[in-house]
Amino acid sequence: MDEGALPWWQNAVFYQIYVRSFADSDGDGVGDLEGIRSRLGYLELLGVDALWLTPFFRSPMADHGYDVADPRDVDPLFGDLAAFDALVADAHGHGLKVTIDLVPNHTSDQHVWFQQALRSAPGSRERGRYLFRDGQGHGGSLPPNNWTSVFGGPAWTRVPDGQWYLHLFAPQQPDLNWDDSEVRADLVQTLRFWLDRGVDGFRIDVAHGMAKPAGLPDMDPNAVAIMAGTQSHDVVDPRFDNDGVHDIHRLIRKVLDGYPGTMAVGEIWVERDDRFAFYVRPDELHLGFNFKLVEADFDADSVRRAIDRSLTAVQATGAAPTWTLSNHDVVRHVTRYGGGDLGTRRARAMALVELALPGVTFIYNGEELGLPNVDLPDWALQDPVWERSGHTERGRDGCRVPLPWEGEIPSFGFSRAGAAWLPMPTHWAGLTVEAQLEDPESMLSLYRHALEIRKTSGAFGGEELEWYGAPPGCFAFRRKGGGLICALNTSAAPVPLPPGEILLASGPMEGNQLPPETSVWLV
């Protein structure tokens, strides 16, 4: 890196690949590393800068790879280490950085450590790597505290000798004890293992987890699942965001500092902006995912608030803000915004808002095709949330349906054999990459065009925004450095455009009026 030059991620557009669902090379209906490698040309054409690959490590797949049995090997379902090395080399050849998931909060129950812990006595060294405790009540038959799992039900499971172990997610994902020096040393080894293979960075899963408070005090029963994103300020939730977590991030940072040009972005579901900022202090993570845009309605005031809060949260830290509309844990935004043509029009408008903002954007695979969430039949559901909630929450499978690439019938080129691990809607023929590539009106064309302008125009400079006065239900901001203006209309009527020359619009314009559900870039 040149002296004084910005790091590569400062304004980068990341593309999140949900590995199971991107492209399947071997015909088993599950996406894999070779599948990704075969589609790198597409990603280069799309114009993204970096990839984030969801977990592809050895795993029994109780949570589709977020239950890691060996963090330093590739699961045979996805390929092998040679396939990974080939993917990294080719991605770099296409000018794409490669970042991968790191899952430090928990392991799989099939991890050798947990298997040893189960075979060992209470109080043993082996149990000390996890959070085993005696229960409460007569004979210890009640869990050690009232914590609930993010996926539903109690966060504790009892083992045959009567002790209980903690799992903030599924029972197949026992939480590690981060006070244990071996647990810390192992993370360093894992980081180095992948850095030595050439990865450019990590996405840290549940980066606000890991550290647990002494004595494991009860939680406020009103605390809700982190991923619901509705945690209010006054709820006491000792499961997450404990101060001890920052030492772990400092440890990660120290390792990364030994590999110049590498970075880490944390998944941080923390409501308070001041607490969020702690995670991106200069000696901690380079970036933090915030989910303010995911939580905002399609409403100019609500989107503006999300933008302002995201910018303020990182202002004093020097870290770039980050923007996300969808990922593998939330309902896809076409559907959140109302679905159908309306949802699509709004998603187009929000894509331009997001890509106009200073900082780092994360695109979730398929959003560039305008994929909606899918209503899957009960029999198809695989997310542990479905079982754990007693079939009251359908879980996250609906946003994880494989990508349609080409052709008229499922699996639309996702898999050579026509197989797909989740059923793909037959009416997706119009949403395939093939169908959209040459259509100038398609969502894919909008993303390609927007990404190209973002990369080549000088208008995107500067970190600060200036807000213009705007009619109700609308906003307009200007990038102070470069001069780009972005206007959004979420009201029911057309409004006058701000002055300037149109660079790109999310939908058809009406003279010099900005129609409803539309956004525009001007200079």
Binding site for ligand GLC (CB under 6 A): 63, 66, 103, 169, 205-206, 267, 328-329
Among residues 328 and 333, whose Cβ is nearest to ligand GLC? 328
Q: CB-side exposure of 321: number of CA atoms within 13 Å? A: 26
Q: What is the 3-state secondary structure (H, E, C) of 27-77?
A: CCCCCCHHHHHHCHHHHHHHCCCEEEECCCEECCCCCCCCCCCEEEEECCC
The catalytic position among 205, 284, 329, 368 is: 205
Q: How far is the CB of 101 from ligand GLC (least distance, A)?
A: 8
Cα–Cα distance measured from residue 160 to residue 211, given in angstroms and rounded to the nearest whole number: 27
Among residues 74 and 399, whose Cβ is nearest to ligand GLC? 399
Q: How far is the CB of 458 from ligand GLC (least distance, A)?
A: 36
DSSP summary character for residue 246: H
Closest of 197, 233, 239 to residue 216, by C-alpha: 239
Q: How far is the CB of 103 from ligand GLC (least distance, A)?
A: 6
Which amino acid belongs to residue 197?
Answer: R
Cα–Cα distance measured from residue 385 to residue 107, given in angstroms and rounded to the nearest whole number: 18
The contacts of residue 350 (CB under 8 Å, 6+ apart) are 293, 298, 303, 325, 333, 337, 488, 519
Give strand ranges (E) for 134-292: 156-158, 164-166, 201-204, 263-267, 287-289
DSSP summary character for residue 160: T
Q: Which residue is nearest to ligand GLC (CB)?
A: 66
In which residue are the tokens 């149990």 written?
Answer: 127
Token code pair at residue 120: 């060992």
298-to-97, 267, 369, 415, 508 alpha-carbon distances in Å: 32, 23, 19, 35, 19
Q: How far is the CB of 204 from ligand GLC (least distance, A)?
A: 10
The catalytic position among 175, 241, 267, 284 is: 267
Among residues 150 and 420, whose Cβ is nearest to ligand GLC? 150
Among residues 346 and 396, whose Cβ is nearest to ligand GLC? 396
The verdict on whether 267 is a catalytic residue reads yes
Q: How far is the CB of 98 from ligand GLC (least distance, A)?
A: 18
Query: ∠168-172-176 over CA atoms, to 5°?
Result: 55
Q: How far is the CB of 460 from ligand GLC (least distance, A)?
A: 29
Among residues 65 and 516, whose Cβ is nearest to ligand GLC? 65
Among residues 178 and 298, whose Cβ is nearest to ligand GLC? 178
Token code pair at residue 291: 């989910």
Among residues 39 and 328, whose Cβ is nearest to ligand GLC? 328
Q: How far is the CB of 58 from ligand GLC (least distance, A)?
A: 15
The verdict on whether 466 is a catalytic residue reads no
How far the first Cα of the chain sits from its last, in Å, is 31
Q: Tell me which residues are annotated as active site.
A: 205, 267
